[in-house]
Structure 1
């Protein structure tokens, strides 16, 4: 069963609990800055593991010392759902352990 899209106001309210995350169109996004390319690669792998655990995958981009995510739910017509906010919260919890800001 597809996830239900969340109302824009609810998404914006929930993002207040996730510093650095923003709503851009129909996606929530965040770019993390890390101390090195190796740290960024480590965070990318950690995020991939979380995505597999949740069976929910984002657009994930590894830069030299950055990791960027763009998250929405394809099964909800490309809108933001509870699954997206859960993924964002899980990523936010592990990012500081990699030195992310």
Structure 2
């Protein structure tokens, strides 16, 4: 069963204790073509014109992910922001990917699409 970016962006995070299967991960990745797997995390890099745009994006991400209570790893520099999601509570605390990671990635994509050029 495939899922769309619109469905993901419209969903909300909930407590997760079970990681997605590899098939489910691949299905969810298909909805988010700019994202990739990086050492077990869902990752994407966003490029900007300058530091102001980068920080504005980071602040927008912070507001959205705080509302979802699902926080990524961020790496921020002058004109780029790296975002990595994973879920620490799945796989009996060993971590992995859950639907929450894909929900938040879709929300971050929506923020990036709305930015001023």
Say whether the fold is shared (TM-score over 0.5): yes
Q: 2:97 aligns with which of 80, 93, 97?
A: 80
Q: Does 1:97 align with 2:114?
A: yes
Moved over 4 A (4+): none
Q: Which has more radius of gyration?
A: 2
CA distance in 2, matches of 1:44, 1:8: 29
Asked if 1:12 is matched to 2:26, the reply is yes
Residues in 2 aligned to 1:41 and 1:55: alpha-carbon distance in whole angstroms: 20
| Partner in structure 1 of residue 53 of structure 2 | 39
Instruction: Kindly indicate whether residue 71 of structure 2 is the aligned counterpart of residue 57 of structure 1.
Output: yes
Give ranges in structure 2 of 5+ residues lacking alignment: 1-14
User: RMSD of the alignment, in Å?
Assistant: 1.5
Q: Indicate if the aligned counterparts of 1:3 and 1:82 stay in contact, CA closer than 8 A.
A: no
